[in-house]
C-alpha cells in the first residue's frame, strides 16, 4: 500500500475509490498477516479476464474496498443514532476484511475440484479462528458477527446479506475493471440511505429506486460478466482439466504440480483433514491451503500442456493458449439425442473411450435472478415506521425481480463444428 502517514492511519490508493483510509489498528495488523497477503495472488474474477482483459483485480483490493465501504456505513448509521460501540465497529470491519479469506484460487470454479465438501465460508471461519488464536482473542467479536451469533443482528447483515459491503464493493469494482460502465451501482447513495430498525438493516423509503437500480445492475453484471458464455467455457475447461489431473494423480500416474497443489491433487481431502489438523509434509492442512493461490494452478496447467496424457495435454493447452470451446446456450435442456452423436464424434476424432469423451463435452445450466427473497430480504423503512420488503415496496412491484431464470449450455471443441 502507498502509506502516506507514518502514524496509525494508513492510506491505500485505490483506482475505484481513491484514497482509502484504514482507521483501525486491528484491521491494519490483519492486513499484514500472510493469510491476507495471499489474497494479492488470487484474482477476484478468476478467468473473466479471458473476455475482459482488464479484469485482473485481486481479492486483496476487494477486501480493502469492502472495509472502506464498511467505515462509511458505520459513520452513517452512527449519525442516525444506531448503537455501535467502538469495539463493535472494529469487529465488523475485521469481519468484512476477512469474509473471503477462505477462498482458494479460481474459487467459484474449483471449490469442488480442489477440496470436496467444504464450502469456502467454512474455511474462512477456520482461518479466522486460527487468526483469533494468533491475535489472542481480539477477533472473537468479529467471529461472532461473521457467524451471526452476535446479538446485534444488523452487524452481521453489513457483512453478509443482500446489501452487505461485500456485494457493494465487488459489483462496483468488477464493473470498473471489466469496463462495463453501465453496471455501476450507487454504493455511496445506498450507504447514505441505510438505517437500523428493530435490529435489522433497512433502507429508507427514498432509497427505493436506488435499490431497484442496484438489484437490476447486479442481474446485468451476472449475464454480462459472471455468466458470460465465454467465461463459462473457460471455467468448464479448467474444471475438467483439474478433474483429469486429479484422476491421473490418484491413479498413480505422475503428474507435475507445484508442491502445494500436489497435496490437494493426490490426496482426497475431506473436511476432517481440516478440522482434525492432520499433517501433510509435516504441516497442517489449513496452513497449506492458506498458501495456495492462482500461481499454483497456472504454473501446473502450463506444464500439463506437455503431459503424456493426451487428454490432459489437450485440455491444458486449450486453456493456456485460449483455444476455448464452443458454447451453445438455450432455454431447454440439451437432450440425450443431441448429446450422444457429439460424444461419438469426440470418441472418433480424439480416439478416446466413451468415459474419456466426457472430458471434452460439458452440459450444465446456469440460473440468475435479481433478487432472492427468502430469509434474507431487503427491507424498506417508510416514514410511519412501516417496513416493507422491497418486492412489496417497489411501485412497479417488478414481477421479474425474484424470478429465477435458468439457461442450459453445452461446451465442446470448436473442431466439432467443422465437419
Residues within window 321-380 making contact with a second copy, judged by CB under 8 A: 321-322, 331, 370
Query: Closest separation between CB of residue 375 and a second copy, Å?
Result: 22
114 belongs to the binding site for a second copy (CB under 8 A):
no
- CB-based contact 12:20 (threshold 8 Å): yes
Query: Closest separation between CB of residue 138 and a second copy, Å?
Result: 20
Query: Closest separation between CB of residue 265 and a second copy, Å?
Result: 14
Choose one: 108-116, 155-163, 388-396, 411-419; the region binding a second copy (CB under 8 A). Answer: 388-396
157 belongs to the binding site for a second copy (CB under 8 A):
no
Query: Closest separation between CB of residue 344 and a second copy, Å?
Result: 26
Query: Closest separation between CB of residue 165 and a second copy, Å?
Result: 16
Distance CA 362, CA 27 (A): 43
Distance CA 364, CA 229 (A): 12
Contacts (CB under 8 A) with a second copy, residues 211-230: 212-214, 216-217, 219-220, 223-224, 228
Which of 106, 154, 177, 226 forms a contact with a second copy (CB under 8 A)? Answer: 177
Q: Output the nine-digit C-alpha cell for 357.
A: 469423451
Nearer to a second copy, 200 or 407 (CB): 407
Query: Closest separation between CB of residue 319 and a second copy, Å?
Result: 10
- The CA distances from residue 295 to 41, 45, 298, 317, in Å, are 7, 15, 5, 16
Contacts 24+ apart (CB under 8 A), 39-42: 39/63, 39/100, 39/101, 39/103, 41/293, 41/294, 41/295, 42/103, 42/104, 42/105, 42/107, 42/293, 42/294
Which of 136, 151, 182, 252 forms a contact with a second copy (CB under 8 A)? Answer: 182
Core vs surface per residue 161-191: b (16+ CB within 10 A) or e: bbbbbbbbbbbbbbbbbbebeebebbbeebb
Contacts (CB under 8 A) with a second copy, residues 183-212: 183-186, 188-189, 192-193, 206, 209-210, 212
If you search the block for the grid coordinates 425481480, which residue do you land on? Answer: 401
71 belongs to the binding site for a second copy (CB under 8 A):
no
Nearer to a second copy, 57 or 99 (CB): 57
Burial class (CB in 10 A: 0-12, 13-18, 19+), 259: exposed
Which of 86, 133, 136, 181 forms a contact with a second copy (CB under 8 A)? Answer: 181
Query: Closest separation between CB of residue 148 and a second copy, Å?
Result: 29
Choose one: 51-59, 307-315, 353-361, 408-416; the region binding a second copy (CB under 8 A). Answer: 51-59
- The CA distances from residue 12 to 26, 31, 32, 33, 127, in Å, are 16, 12, 13, 16, 24
Which of 24, 30, 58, 113 forms a contact with a second copy (CB under 8 A)? Answer: 58
Query: Closest separation between CB of residue 219 and a second copy, Å?
Result: 8
- CB-based contact 244:336 (threshold 8 Å): no
Amino acid at each position: 500500500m502507498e502509506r502516506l502517514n507514518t502514524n496509525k492511519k494508513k492510506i491505500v490508493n485505490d483506482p475505484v475509490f481513491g484514497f482509502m483510509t484504514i482507521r483501525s489498528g486491528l484491521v491494519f495488523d490483519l492486513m499484514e498477516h500472510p493469510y491476507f497477503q495471499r489474497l494479492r495472488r488470487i484474482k477476484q474474477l478468476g478467468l473473466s479476464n479471458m473476455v475482459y482483459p482488464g479484469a485482473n483485480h485481486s481479492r486483496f483490493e476487494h477486501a480493502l474496498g469492502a472495509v472502506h465501504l464498511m467505515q462509511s456505513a458505520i459513520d452513517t448509521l452512527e449519525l442516525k443514532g444506531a448503537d455501535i460501540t467502538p469495539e463493535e465497529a472494529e469487529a465488523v470491519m475485521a469481519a468484512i476484511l476477512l469474509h473471503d479469506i477462505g477462498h482458494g484460487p479460481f474459487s467459484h470454479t474449483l471449490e469442488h475440484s480442489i477440496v470436496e465438501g467444504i464450502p469456502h465460508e467454512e474455511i474462512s471461519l477456520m482461518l479466522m479462528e486460527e487468526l483469533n488464536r494468533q491475535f489472542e482473542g481480539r477477533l472473537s467479536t468479529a467471529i461472532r458477527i461473521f457467524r451471526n451469533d452476535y446479538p446485534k443482528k444488523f452487524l452481521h447483515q453489513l457483512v453478509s446479506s443482500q446489501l452487505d459491503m461485500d456485494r457493494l464493493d465487488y459489483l462496483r469494482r468488477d464493473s470498473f475493471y471489466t469496463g462495463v460502465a453501465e453496471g455501476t451501482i450507487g454504493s455511496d447513495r445506498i450507504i447514505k440511505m441505510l438505517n437500523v430498525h428493530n435490529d435489522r438493516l433497512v433502507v429508507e423509503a427514498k432509497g427505493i429506486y436506488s435499490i431497484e437500480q442496484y438489484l437490476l445492475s447486479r442481474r446485468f453484471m451476472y449475464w454480462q460478466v459472471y455468466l458470460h458464455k465465454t467465461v463459462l467455457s473457460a471455467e468448464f475447461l479448467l474444471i475438467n482439466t483439474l478433474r483429469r489431473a486429479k484422476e491421473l494423480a490418484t491413479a498413480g500416474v505422475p503428474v507435475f504440480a507445484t508442491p502445494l497443489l500436489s497435496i490437494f491433487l493426490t490426496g482426497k481431502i475431506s473436511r476432517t483433514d481440516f478440522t482434525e489438523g492432520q499433517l501433510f509434509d509435516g504441516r497442517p492442512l489449513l496452513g497449506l491451503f492458506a498458501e495456495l493461490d492462482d500461481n499454483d494452478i497456472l504454473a501446473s496447467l502450463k506444464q500439463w500442456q506437455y503431459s503424456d496424457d493426451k487428454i490432459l495435454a489437450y485440455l491444458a493447452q486449450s486453456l493456456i493458449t485460449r483455444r476455448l470451446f464452443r458454447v451453445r446456450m438455450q432455454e431447454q435442456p440439451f437432450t440425450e439425442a443431441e448429446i450422444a452423436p457429439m460424444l461419438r464424434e469426440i470418441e472418433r476424432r480424439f480416439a478416446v473411450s466413451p468415459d474419456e469423451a466426457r472430458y471434452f463435452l460439458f452440459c450444465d445450466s446456469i440460473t440468475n435472478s435479481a433478487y432472492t427473497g427468502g430469509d434474507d430480504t431487503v427491507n424498506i423503512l417508510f416514514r410511519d415506521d412501516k417496513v416493507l420488503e422491497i418486492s412489496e415496496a417497489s411501485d412497479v412491484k417488478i414481477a421479474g425481480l425474484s424470478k429465477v431464470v435458468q439457461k442450459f449450455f453445452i461446451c465442446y471443441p470448436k473442431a466439432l463444428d467443422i465437419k
